[in-house]
Structure 1
């Protein structure tokens, strides 16, 4: 019968085997980690710098404008009133019609005033006859006095009668002119070429009874005014530029004015400056200015809200970049520029007007700088990039 192995004799063997297996597993794990680490180090490759489009600024001249908003106003605007009393006899135009100067518009009971004119003319004729008689008597009395046939008192009476006849004639002539003027007022005519508004009175209505009665309004549409205001800073800048160029106030009044409506692109209506106030409005700090424009097609009506610009200066070799290349933060506008080492820099700039989709850079940019124009999200200041040189092209101007 075989003796059985005692558990006490087997325990040492099992313990050694377990320790060996644990050591083998730990060594395998360490080796695996080393292998993996070596693999990672060998396979890692630095990514290439991101590609961005860059371009050098476009150089060209541009005109610096003073831009403002304003309103159009009629060149002439007159209320037609009844200057004599009477019943309105006729209305001789259609409401809203364009009429020429001198066109008859209203007739106010002319018969009464025509009779008064004839009465005044008859009185003037009588005064003329009285004066002729007085002058003849005066000459006759002069001759008789020289022959001592009549007394000096008789001549004095004749002289007074002659002078009184002359005064009566002058008064009669004045009365005739007044009657003629009043008779002319019965025919209300257009004082200038223009459009007449709807009539405000009806035929048969008594007008001019106690005060002048407004009958209608006539408006001249050609040419037309545009009124706008210039702030104090712009006034100072324009005056300084005028002194530099040796311009006189008369020269400034010849500056062109360009106007555009809200629905128009650009500034298609051209004119010139007509007036500038002598003083600034202290309440608003602005200078009232007026331009005058031809309006033969009547595209502009009084009261329109318009955009106005006036050329102030011609700038040579200005720098232009695409407007989309500009960024903004709390410090203002900036551009991303790639330096000689292909590292992105953030450059603070002062911008000017927009022309054909390109923005004028007035300060902060050099002519040979490479400006990031596309891939702006990949261009991080301080990071290296792969610049792809492109050419800036003008874009169609958007409506302003």
Structure 2
């Protein structure tokens, strides 16, 4: 091999070794930088959870109805000739509401009276014939068969009289149906019919709906799981006893204000709705001022006194597949995700029954990008100050 070729080979080997050493040094430096970056602690606020005793509230969506909601429907057909009330008016029991044209029903009553008078005349005629034949049969002047026939004719006349009397009563009832009065005291709902409208028994729309709202019923539902928890939570051998031991409940209105008067649980439905897997309950609220109306919505709030529970701010939690988690700190200040069981909540806090113990430290905020093993530089955040600054 010539000297020039040997020299070129040595130069190539030298530069190859130099590039390799540079790559090794860069890789080691980059790995060290990455490791230093991973070990760099992130400063985040941290709170220490502790036991407390609080009154918590469970809320359930509710629909309100008056104690009595009566659909006013016509019992006879005819044209509306009078509407005595207006929509939204308060009426007393027995007050006149509607009148249906009664001319046809007056005629029917007159015809029924005429038929009754004719039936009474036939009874009298049959009675006279019976009275005439009775002594003749006793004297054996005529055959007894004639008296028997007269008695049957008299019985038939009496039956026709009873039928005519029933016709009069039925016609009088139909005539009475032409004047519709309020069966209960309450508020008039919408009136879809106007003067001159033809109404009939069995029509799709009622004349109106009359609501007695002196006492309101708020209906809400519990899932099967929540209902079982309810059964285990309150004393009593039967559901009725458990309901009677419930504290008064509150009604939160649509504007988030709390209704002034508290209600009482009064009923639980006999079975679960298979379609939604829930059972309906009812709470009764006094409503003498008429503030609440049928169709209102709100939320039933059930209070529960809890002792020795842990309070966790909601911003300290995150959810994965319907489970609630927090990031706790181990002895090396590394973040560890941990699931918790929530026994109640307020607008800002969760009450934890399982998953945490008093004295544990959790990351208060800034948990969006955390993962298990992240090193935290704890910034102490006093939970007591947070509780004082924010209502539970």
Shorter-chain TM-score range: 0.5 to 0.7
RMSD: 4.4
Indicate if the aligned counterparts of 1:54 and 1:390 stay in contact, CA closer than 8 A: no
Indicate if the aligned counterparts of 2:327 and 2:362 stay in contact, CA closer than 8 A: yes
Indicate if the aligned counterparts of 1:221 and 1:295 stay in contact, CA closer than 8 A: no
Indicate if the aligned counterparts of 2:72 and 2:210 stay in contact, CA closer than 8 A: no
Describe the SS at the equivalent of 1:281.
Answer: coil
Indicate if the aligned counterparts of 1:337 and 1:346 stay in contact, CA closer than 8 A: yes
TM-score normalised per structure 1 = 0.65
Q: Which runs of 5+ in 1 are unaligned?
A: 1-49
Indicate if the aligned counterparts of 1:124 and 1:169 stay in contact, CA closer than 8 A: yes
The number of residues matched between the two structures is: 337
TM-score normalised per structure 2 = 0.67
- Corresponding position: 1:285 with 2:277: yes
Separation (CA, whole Å) in 2 of partners of 1:54 and 1:211: 67
Correspondence for 2:216: 224
Separation (CA, whole Å) in 2 of partners of 1:386 and 1:395: 17
Describe the SS at the equivalent of 2:263.
Answer: strand
Correspondence for 1:166: 158
1:167-217 Cα deviation digits (max 9, x unpaired): 011101110111011101211222322322344333344444x97485631
- Corresponding position: 1:180 with 2:172: yes
Describe the SS at the equivalent of 2:207.
Answer: strand
Indicate if the aligned counterparts of 1:325 and 1:335 stay in contact, CA closer than 8 A: no
Q: Identify the match of residue 78 of structure 2 among 81, 86, 105.
A: 86
Q: Which runs of 5+ in 2 are unaligned?
A: 1-42, 368-373
Relative to structure 1, the CA distance from residue 63 to residue 278 in structure 2 (aligned partners, 3 Å threshold; closer, same or farther) is same
- Corresponding position: 1:319 with 2:312: no
Relative to structure 1, the CA distance from residue 94 to residue 315 in structure 2 (aligned partners, 3 Å threshold; closer, same or farther) is closer
Which has the larger displacement, 174-183 or 284-293?
284-293
Indicate if the aligned counterparts of 2:56 and 2:346 stay in contact, CA closer than 8 A: no
Separation (CA, whole Å) in 2 of partners of 1:358 and 1:81: 51
Separation (CA, whole Å) in 1 of partners of 2:267 and 2:160: 51
Correspondence for 2:267: 274
Indicate if the aligned counterparts of 2:94 and 2:182 stay in contact, CA closer than 8 A: yes
Give 1:92 deviation, angstroms: 1.1
- Corresponding position: 1:196 with 2:188: yes
Relative to structure 1, the CA distance from residue 327 to residue 89 in structure 2 (aligned partners, 3 Å threshold; closer, same or farther) is closer
Separation (CA, whole Å) in 2 of partners of 1:390 and 1:158: 105
Which is higher, the Rg of structure 1 or of structure 2? 1
Separation (CA, whole Å) in 1 of partners of 2:330 and 2:380: 9
Relative to structure 1, the CA distance from residue 384 to residue 79 in structure 2 (aligned partners, 3 Å threshold; closer, same or farther) is closer
Correspondence for 1:248: 238
Q: Identify the match of residue 63 of structure 2 among 61, 65, 71.
A: 71
Separation (CA, whole Å) in 1 of partners of 2:365 and 2:222: 40
